[in-house]
Structure 1
């Protein structure tokens, strides 16, 4: 029996959220005892991929776009797997009956203004197609599952399974000299609420630096404008995308992790801050409260004053910091990519 996985994002050099999710699942799948079950990884070879992993199928396609809808669909006709797993929510037009798709979030429904018209059309088409065609659907949180049920009550079925993400629990060396840094990890885009983060930093600024780690996204021009207008622009660093090891070092050596997002389906950087032993403040939104529990300090993401107040409290209150750090470390141990992969594999294998 064969489980096929659309694995392109796992092999991208500059991986972000969905890429790391796919990568860690594949790594853990390879460790799981799979008697009678084979994995087949489908990859768009548009980039220079150097990984040497068995069972990869590089599916060449002459066009820059439509690889999933075109080339992967052709592969499903010629040589379909028993189950096809799509870690991001856009499946090919043609697929086996047993199609499993992960829907990470429905941000485009609540905040359409932060998407281009083209992206909105694609997102809407993709979600509706998944809800109509998928044999099983995976979400990373109860919140995302409830969003599907809220926005698509006629399409949502009892085939939605919640499987939380995992987190790496690697110990990092802490450098006390760098403990004046406030770190944000994620795309620099409108829905991540970076403009209000800059405003709150302007209110807070006192011997601290703000480190922004992540690639540019939709709405970056306004973010850059806000940074250049800040009286403390020399204390704001944009590091762009960094390798995972470098991100982990910055996070472990930060005074504080801040996550001001307006909308998340899970919020993996929050969990990563807990594992790194770095206290966190974040938006008071459902998914982050589901993931963070009582380990973080929450603020109103629309209110820079409140954001600055919560950052100041977590930075200056030593008792609060210590409690948050210890709770976060304990909480992070409840999440692992091994556990995520095992639960996901059960969902996939039950279709064989």
Structure 2
């Protein structure tokens, strides 16, 4: 008997649509694409291409309509006529048993739909999101989420928000944490790490942050905390910020540039997209700092754990659940507390060693293989109900 087949949404994993750099949802979609076959599933990747943009797809096959077109069809046509039909596989004529929407692009499809809702940020904290068409987008998202046959939340923290903000029935939600790939547990070749660091003018032992520059990531306070450190520590350890500019990041990018011009050891890498180079940057760092105000999960923290880097993390939203004591947690609104934690982690070797060991243990519990196994259990539950 052949393995069951799932249609997986891979729009956010398409380099041609994302500019080459994957955000957390893109990392999640790509990871499931690789891990689900080991959990017993044949995976057919599908992507929503913009009108006339199918040539930009390299990961998934284009769905019959763009997301905007499929959403409009949902709104205008009676439900009996609205479902999007998944195309059969030309090789064997089989149609996938279900569709997994990994990225909030949820439309009616002629198969059961599992939807991963990573957080409820646009509704819970609209002040951190682009206001353009926000109300319409939130209404459409909530409407679509309620129609999914089953919802996956990436943390227990997210469940209450999904119930409150999207109106999802809690009985239709399963918690399946995100993970980290096996390669993160392996130390990259020292020569490769050295070459990447030299390319970007970095010295080993720096403070590292990874994430899109946007208000909820709290990078402004991270910069303030770094500049509050003693001069001797700033001279010894750079602050390296890896992330593309996002919404409302103009003032932050100005401040990063100003710090650099003032002779501070601040490096902003805005266009780094290569996965191996990112691994090299983790390997060359001394402390990973993640002071985010809001996370549905926080994949970079687990990447740092697996890479053997001690972590200073915010104690907000889902992060304590993800870290389980493996990070040195701080109140993200306190610059002084953040600076003290950064200094302690940089100077206290015993503290560093404890958190490195705890982080590796925690990362071993959060692998993409385990995510795929638990996701497979959700699929089987939906198909048997």
Q: Which TM-score band (shorter chain)?
A: 0.7 to 0.9
Tell me the number of residue pairs that the alignment of Structure 1 and Structure 2 aligns: 341
Aligned residue number for residue 250 of structure 2: 221
Q: What secondary structure does 1:256 align onto?
A: strand
Map Cα deviations across residues 122-144 of structure 1 (whole Å, 9 max, x no partner): 55224411342111000110000
Going from structure 1 to structure 2, the CA distance change for 1:70 and 1:329 (only over 3 Å counts) comes to same
Can you list the C-alpha shifts for 1:195-229, whole angstroms capped at 9, x where unaligned? 11111111013422111111110111011122234
How far apart, CA to CA, are the structure 1 residues paired with 2:324 and 2:352?
15
Q: Structure 1: how far apart are the matches of 2:372 and 2:275?
A: 20
Instruction: Please tell me whether the aligned partners of residues 131 and 155 of structure 1 are also in contact (alpha carbons under 8 angstroms).
Output: yes
The answer to whether the Cα contact below 8 Å between 1:284 and 1:298 also exists between their aligned partners in 2 is yes
Counterpart Cα distance in 2 of 1:66 and 1:149: 25
User: CA deviation digits over 1:267-293, x for unaligned, max 9?
Assistant: 110011010000010111131110111
Matched, 1:284 2:291: no
| Mapped partners of 1:279, 1:11: distance in 2 | 31
Q: 1:104 to 1:78 in 2, by over 3 A?
A: closer
After TM superposition, the structure 1 stretch with the greater mean CA deviation from structure 2, 177-186 or 257-266, is 177-186
Q: 2:84 aligns with which of 76, 96, 111?
A: 76
- 5 Å matches for 1:202-351? 202-204=227-229, 205-230=234-259, 234-240=264-270, 241-351=272-382
Supply the distance in 2 between the matched residues of 1:68 and 1:309 (Cα, whole angstroms): 51
Relative to structure 1, is the Cα distance of residues 95 and 48 closer, same or farther in structure 2, using a 3 angstrom cutoff? Answer: closer
Q: 1:78 to 1:112 in 2, by over 3 A?
A: closer
1:118 to 122, 127, 132: 132
Aligned pair partner of 1:158 in 171, 175, 178? 171
Give, in whole Å, the separation in 2 of the partners of 1:119 and 1:172: 44
CA contact 1:91–1:126 (8 Å) conserved in 2: no
Unaligned segments of structure 1, at least 5 residues: none
Structure 2: how far apart are the matches of 1:68 and 1:195? 39
CA distance in 2, matches of 1:113, 1:32: 39
Contact 2:155-2:176 within 8 A present in 1 as well:
yes
**Residues 25/321 of structure 1: CA separation in 2 closer, same or farther (3 Å cut):** same
TM-score using structure 2 length: 0.80
Q: Does 1:99 align with 2:129?
A: no
CA distance in 2, matches of 1:58, 1:85: 15
Check if 1:90 corresponds to 2:105. yes
Q: Please list the CA deviations of residues 31-88 of structure 1 after superposition, one character each: whole Å capped at 9, or x if unmatched.
A: 3334xxx53321245364445xxxx532476x7x725536999882474754221001
